[in-house]
Amino acid sequence: MTIRQWTMLIWGLLGLGVFVCLIVATLSKGRLSTLGTLVSRITATRLGQGLLMLAWMWLGWHAFAR
């Protein structure tokens, strides 16, 4: 396999993992937080907003800037 194929496989597995986590959280009837709830909790403070912005910028720079 080439590096590009490995990269696509890893991104696909990460996406599948997020999807599975969302389904499990939805089916848990409130026992587990959904992605939206987690983001809301993180962005409730200025520090959380800044850290989330920096993480998003890092992801964009390293994954999509080509």
Is the pLDDT assigned to residue 65 strictly greater than 80? no
Is the pLDDT assigned to residue 17 strictly greater than 90? yes
- Residue 66 confidence (pLDDT): 63
Is the pLDDT assigned to residue 64 strictly greater than 80? no
- Residue 33 confidence (pLDDT): 86
3-state class of 2 per DSSP? coil
If 0-12 CB within 10 Å is exposed, 13-18 middle and 19+ buried, where does residue 32 land? middle
Give the range among 47-51, 55-59, 60-64 with minimum mean pLDDT: 60-64
- Residue 41 confidence (pLDDT): 92
Is the pLDDT assigned to residue 45 strictly greater than 80? yes
